[in-house]
Amino acid sequence: MSAVHGEDERAAGRPSRYDVTGRRGTHPSAERLSPANPLWGSNGIAFGPDGRLYVAEFLGGRISAVDLDGGELDVVVPAGGPVRSPDDLAFGADGSMYIADLVPGRVWRRSPRGEYTLVSDEVKNPNGITCIGDRLFVNEMKPDGRLLELFPDGGAPAVLTAGLAMGNAMQRGPDGCLYYPHMISEQIWRIPPDGGEPEMVADQVDRPVAVRFDRGGVLHVLSLGPEGRVTRIDLHGTGSRTLVTSGLAGLDNAAFDAENRMFVSSYASGGITEMHPDGRTRVIVPRGFDGPYGVTVDLGGTVYAADHYRVASPPASSEASFGGDGGADAEPAEPVSHVLAPFAHGIAADGGLLHLTSQFGDVRTYDPRDGSMRKRSGGLDRPMGIAVDPAAGSLVVAEAGAGRVLAVDGSDRVTVLAEGLGRPVDVAFDAAGRCYVSDEQAGAVLRLEEDATAAVVAECLGAPQGLAVVGDVLYVVETAHRSLRAVSLVTAASWTEAEDLPVGPSPDAVPVPPDAGPALFAHGLPGLAGRFTGLASAPDGSLVLSADGEGTLLRLTPSGPR
């Protein structure tokens, strides 16, 4: 029978980035622990000539337009085209859309007819972008970055100034100058668009990620922190500041409509939200999981997901803990953010601690009790899945880029448990303390033996990733087949536990080669991790799966040994 609760029924009408039918998979117990997230994060936003709000989805490699009256989404720049990682956008006087394509280092023009032209590939980490009439300006999100004017009709970029301490979203102010943040030094600067001496206009501004002026000329500075802060600065009088806290973690950008209503985006959870002057909010497009990727369940039954920019749990109203009853009358809610953790992909619960791997190539331990984050190892090549060795207490990590499995002990000493693998993605332990690893490239699940060899447990699998062991059965997500495979560790029998899972690109997505997909998921780029569909077992014997295709977590009750 179906285990879908009222939350899931109310969410069925929401647009899904995976599949408009809202399928969860064919397993009879498949249950969403959170509503589908229609956006792969939300970064740069700007109103277009048609009055719709356009949203750059950096993680999804696409741009969508939002009808603010009903919240409907229309994908305008799909993934698989020339644009790979749009982070900000702006519109010129002729209706052309200009796009900052962050990771490849390109700036694009999309004409009103939908034609793409490369404006420049000479900008390093282009991010903040704005237009003044037909003039185009962009800055670089890097230390010692530059602010440049680009010429869509040809010509070398003109450098207005250098020395930006990581630029980001910028805008022309009422005085005609370009205003932009220095994210590292927490300052706001301005410079005339024709060049000149840059001037600092505000110092000690909380983690500035974007500057925006409302219709009355008041400067609003968005903070990228967990509190959802916006600092309003009076530039016309005393320079006084007003701090507003919204609770929207990971603000990224803002746009004001003709009625001076403020709409904000979140890199951490997606969505589009109207933010009132007093900090109250109104959801336009619901927020959710950007991934999720790695997933774990602690001994109390609480689910945690590594969600690329943060650690988050499902909404409490949809059984975030396995001890409760979500209830048909529970109101839908967004995932709960525990901590902002940039590029988190793997996660493992260990008592009161959470261990994380990140796209930065490190392993860290987060203590929710005091908010501390301890670095355990660094310099790794795409570390992905992580588990705790129940006997030794060490952290065991699948280092996908190096083809190794590593152990990090309590003194942070790293040893190699296995090497020469194809692309190890996840690790898991059985009740006897034996370690299993999924090798996505080899299409196999291996068991690491005491003599440092690896025994094949299952092979001929389709891009296996997430692993979990329940009793004597090992479960593995075959991402290429969008299925969950079960293998008996006693008889070696195997069977398909669930099919048609919402993992990976949507069924109607245009297939693209690895070097043409969204930048995050390109295995060929140094330091960038690929997709990771995580799997975890809960204390009650159920499984939690990361449905990264639609931005949800699925709970499944396995059928048991066969």
Q: Which two tokens stand for residue 391?
A: 């006997």
**pLDDT given for residue 298 in this prediction:** 95
- H/E stretch holding 45 reads strand 45-47
> What residue has token string 């997430």?
466
Q: Is the dihedral of CA 78, 84, 88, 93 positive or negative?
A: negative
DSSP E strand boundaries for 141-217:
143-150, 158-165, 171-172, 178-182, 187-191, 199-202, 208-213
- What is the pLDDT at residue 303? 97
Question: Residue type at 80?
Answer: G
DSSP 11: H
| Exposure letters 93-128 (e unless 16+ CB within 10 A, then b) | eeebbbbbbbbebbbbbbeeeeeeeebbeebebbbb
In DSSP terms, 274 is beta-bridged to 263, 282
Query: In this predicted structure, what is the pLDDT of residue 15?
Result: 59
Residue 353, classified by CB atoms within 10 Å of its CB into exposed (0-12), middle (13-18) or buried (19+), is middle
pLDDT of residue 10: 35
Angle at 327 between CA 325 and CA 306, to 5 degrees: 65
So what's the pLDDT on residue 384? 96
pLDDT recorded at residue 498? 94
Residue 20: predicted pLDDT: 57
Per-residue exposure over 260-288, b if at least 16 CB sit within 10 Å of its own CB, e if not? ebbbbbbbbbbbbbebeeeeeeeebbbbb
Residue 22 is predicted with a pLDDT of 52
pLDDT in the model for residue 515: 52
- Quick one: pLDDT at residue 325? 41
CB 11 within 8 A of CB 36: yes
DSSP sequence for 480-498: TTTEEEEEETTT--EEEEE
Residue stretches of the chain with pLDDT short of 50: 1-13, 318-332, 517, 519-529
Give the per-residue pLDDT at 98.
98
Domains assigned to the chain: 6-20+289-556 (2.120.10.30), 45-285 (2.120.10.30)
Cβ-Cβ contacts under 8 Å for 10 (sequence gap 6 or more): 35, 332
pLDDT of residue 2: 26
- Res 524: pLDDT: 36
pLDDT score recorded for residue 331: 36
The pLDDT assigned to 239 comes to 79
